[in-house]
Amino acid sequence: MQLSKREISITLTLIDANGPLTTALLAEQFEMSVRSIKYDLDNIRAWLEQKKLSLVSRRNKGIWLEWPDSKKLEIKNELLHVARYALFPDQEVRIYRLILRLALAETFLTSDTLAEDMSVSRNTILSDLEKMELLLYEYDVTLQRRNHYGFCLAGEESQIRLLMEIVIQKGMTDYDVYNMMQTIVNQEKTQATNYGMPHEMATIFNVTLTEMAQLVDQEMLDQFNYSEILAIILRVAIATGRLKNTHTMKSYKILDNQQQLEQKRELPFLLMQAVFNYYHFPNLEDEYIYIFSDILINYQDANIAELTTALIAEVSEKEQVPFNADQQLFNNLFAHLSLKLHKKHVFVNEYNPFVDDIKSKYSHLFRHIQFASEKLIASSAVIVNDSFVSYIALHFLVAYEKAQPNRDVVSIVYICSTGLGVTSLIQQKIMEEVANVELVSFASVLKAQEVIKEKNPDLVVSIFPLEGIQRPFIKVQPLPTAQDITMINELVQGVLQNRSGEHKLTRLVARQQVPNKQGVEDESRDLLLSAFVVYEELKRLFEGQIQSGYEEAFLLHVMMMVHRIHFQSQYQNEGNVVPETLVTNQTDVCAIEKIMAHNKLAINRAEITALLQYVCIE
């Protein structure tokens, strides 16, 4: 027998759960009746019996799985990878597969051919194609029909590729992304996986992923976050798939600065070169421009400061909340926009796990930020998209209410997207609703194993499924739900109870103790003095270079920078380093490092990049 898509989702939910789940809770989560959930559970039980596995259920307690971790991973892998889209795909999934199938076809495809590919009737395919046209219309792509020949996609090449990118991303799960990033970080070959794509597209994608794993090094990982790495992989794979059918972006002009790009180790070029060589394609200029980035922009620092002020003012007016009185919001948002808009690679369709949650739970705020961004950013048609707006929304959500941090006894490493808005919002929510915890570090999926090993936490919380975690672990939604918070509370209590016995596990990493009142006064005084000394030295270094009117913002930035360094919470290097800025301003970079070292503060490249946004004014 086979499972339906909803039954697969229920099974995955049970696998990820750290305790019993009631049918009422499942019914609420999947927006179904309790009766329907019970029918689904009966089918799941029958499917598991074929594998000699079972569900455990108990009245007034719920349903759970008593499987070893290895078996959970095996079943999850089967459901997510091997058979996920072969098991009775619904219309939405079929439409996504149809788009990719048509985009990679060499000729027109008949309805009979498509029906056979999807294992459905011809009438079902015709219904799917009719609904698919509504989605195509949103991207200025049309479905061409020709009697006796069939169907094909028509439109601007850039729009067809954008549609392909969106469709592939929608078919991916967080588990897929985690596995891809592990392959890249560990630089190892992985088992070929279809990721919900048609066979031809999946084959190209796996070749591209393998080449990326062989190319990437730590310096490259510092230049890109995981969503940008995924975007580069997708674009190289899509370009390859389209070139196989002679669909180029524009022309067949050969890229003329290949030697320079290779010497500079430009990752988009190196990956394109490796994959194109594999498929015996020349390195075309227009293909590189497509893969390299959507846009090449360089905002002046003055514009970003004015943009930040205007954006906060616009959203404050729409939301009727005095965001413009929050100087910390300005500082954080300025840093975010500076790093975002000064980056060499700006991808329209970057992977962002927070989009759906932000749009559904904070729809008014999302719309207001989107409206303000489109109004204030000149190239908004290219830059402003759901991902861009969602990351900005996280900064505003932090500003709604600031909670006092609690010192505690259970240490947590949180694996998520590591932007400042993301981590601040999660930290605020956890501190508000979970007692006796200490968030010792946030990390991206690229750095997960490294940070866990370094911090040795009591508990790991992650938006991605992780393998081989030898400590309590919970997978949560990108924005933690009430159920997630409940499960975190339960795990925290479990850790505390395990410690209450006589035999406690010896911690191998020293933790910061809760200071007494006198200690807090001493530490805060020393920190303020240190920050002021650093500010004075940096102000002398950049005398005359800080734009008039932004001296206070620079002061606050330096103060918060010293605070972040002191408490080991600097901006992540991953995705926030602009090598060109550091190279161009090498003298200033050395001077900054010397000042910080003199004050016994170790500053990383991401913090230096952010600091230079205030002073690198042409």
* Residue in the structure block whose two tokens are 């479990």: 494
- Write down the pLDDT at residue 84: 53
- Which H helix or E strand runs over 155? strand 150-155
Q: What is the rounded CA–CA span in Å between residue 536 and residue 516?
A: 30
Query: What is the structure's pLDDT at 297?
Result: 43
CATH code that applies to domain 301-400: 1.10.1790
- pLDDT confidence of residue 403: 32
| Tokens encoding 534 | 């650093």
At 296, is the pLDDT very low, low, confident or very high (cuts 50, 70, 90)? very low
Query: How far apart, in whole angstroms, are the C-alpha atoms of residue 447 and residue 443?
Result: 6
Among 124-133, 435-444, 512-521, top mean pLDDT goes to 124-133
Mind listing the pLDDT tens digit for each residue in 541-592? 888 888 777 788 888 889 989 998 888 888 877 666 777 778 888 888 889 9
- The pLDDT of 200-217, averaged and rounded, is 90
Pick from 167, 144, 194: which is nearest to 98 by CA? 167
Alpha carbons 546 and 538: distance in angstroms, whole number: 10
Rounded to an integer, the average pLDDT of 347-356 is 66
Residue 348 has pLDDT above 70, yes or no: no
Tell me if domain 5-82 and domain 91-155 are identical in fold: yes
Using the predicted structure, report yes or no on whether residue 407 has a pLDDT greater than 50.
Answer: no
pLDDT of residue 489: 87
* Residue 113: predicted pLDDT: 92
461-486 in b/e burial notation, b at 16+ Cβ within 10 A?
A: bbbbbbbebeebbbbbebbbeebbbb
Identify the pLDDT of residue 599.
83
What are the structure tokens assigned to 580, written together? 């060109």
Higher-confidence residue of 258 and 497: namely: 258
Contacts of 275 (CB under 8 A, 6+ apart): 204, 207, 208, 211, 236, 237, 240
Task: Inform me whether the pLDDT recorded for 371 exceeds 50.
Answer: yes
What's the average model confidence in pLDDT over 381-407? 68
Structure tokens at 196: 């919900």
Reported in sequence order, the residue ranges of 407-560 that DSSP labels E, i.e. its strands, are 410-415, 437-443, 459-462, 473-475
Q: Report the pLDDT value the prediction gives residue 128, as an integer from 0 to 100.
A: 93
Q: From CA 488, how far away is CA 408, in angstroms rounded?
A: 15
Alpha-carbon distance of 484 to 461, in angstroms, equals: 10
Structural class in CATH, domain 91-155: mainly alpha
Range of lowest pLDDT (64-73, 227-236, 608-617): 608-617
pLDDT given for residue 275 in this prediction: 96
Residues near 33 by beta carbon (within 8 Å), at least 6 away in sequence: 27
Write out pLDDT tens, residues 457-512: 889 998 888 877 888 888 888 888 888 888 898 888 888 877 655 334 333 232 33
Contacts of 428 (CB under 8 A, 6+ apart): 398, 401, 402, 403
Q: Which residues contact 59 (CB under 8 A, 6 or more apart)?
A: none
pLDDT of residue 502: 38
State which amino acid sits at residue 404: Q
In this structure, the chain runs to a length of 618
- Quote the pLDDT of residue 574: 65
Closest CA to 41 of 61, 27, 52: 27
Burial class (CB in 10 A: 0-12, 13-18, 19+), 7: buried
For 387, the token pair is 């991902």
pLDDT of residue 208: 94
Backbone angles phi, psi at 146, to 5 degrees: -140, 125
Q: Is 583 exposed, middle or buried (0-12, 13-18, 19+ CB in 10 A)?
A: exposed
Q: What is the mean pLDDT of residues 281-307?
A: 71
pLDDT at 294 over 60: no
Cα separation values, 534 from 316, 366, 520, 542, 557, Å: 33, 37, 21, 12, 11
pLDDT category of residue 173 using cuts at 50, 70 and 90: confident
Could you tell me which of 173, 17, 207 has the C-alpha nearest to residue 84?
173
381 has pLDDT over 50: no
**Of all residues in the chain, what percent carry a pLDDT higher than 90?**
19
Q: What residue ranges do the domains of the chain occupy?
A: 5-82, 91-155, 162-292, 301-400, 410-499, 517-612
Mean pLDDT of 207-218: 89
Mean pLDDT of 288-300: 62
Task: Write down the pLDDT at residue 126.
Answer: 93
**Please, what is the average pLDDT of the chain?**
81
- State residue 435's pLDDT score: 78
CA torsion 96-181-224-311 (nearest 10°) is 60
Per mean pLDDT, which range of 136-145, 356-365, 396-405, 458-467 is the poorest? 396-405
pLDDT at 575: 66
Q: What is the mean pLDDT of residues 273-295?
A: 87
Report the pLDDT value the prediction gives residue 308, as an integer from 0 to 100.
86
**What is 5-82's CATH number?**
1.10.10.10
Record the tokens describing residue 341, joined without a space: 């808009």
In whole angstroms, give the CA distance from residue 365 to residue 280: 48
Q: Per the structure block, which two tokens stand in for 573?
A: 């290097």
Confidence of residue 380 (pLDDT cuts 50, 70, 90): very low
To the question of domain 410-499 being in CATH 3.20.20.80, the answer is: no
64: enclosing H helix or E strand: strand 62-64
pTM for this entry: 0.55
- Is 129's pLDDT higher than 90? yes
Query: Is it the case that residue 450 has pLDDT exceeding 50?
Result: yes
Q: Is 616 helix (H, G, I), strand (E, B) or coil?
A: coil
The sign of the dihedral angle between the CA atoms of 312, 315, 317, 323 is negative
pLDDT band (50, 70, 90) for residue 124: very high
In the chain, the N- to C-terminal Cα span, in Å, equals 67
Task: Among 228-242, 325-339, 528-542, name the most confident range.
Answer: 228-242
Q: How confident is the model at residue 518 (pLDDT cuts 50, 70, 90)?
A: very low
What percent of the chain shows pLDDT beyond 70? 84
61's tokens: 């307690």
Q: In this predicted structure, what is the pLDDT of residue 192? A: 66
> In angstroms, what CA-CA distances link 357 with 225, 266, 278, 477?
21, 34, 39, 9
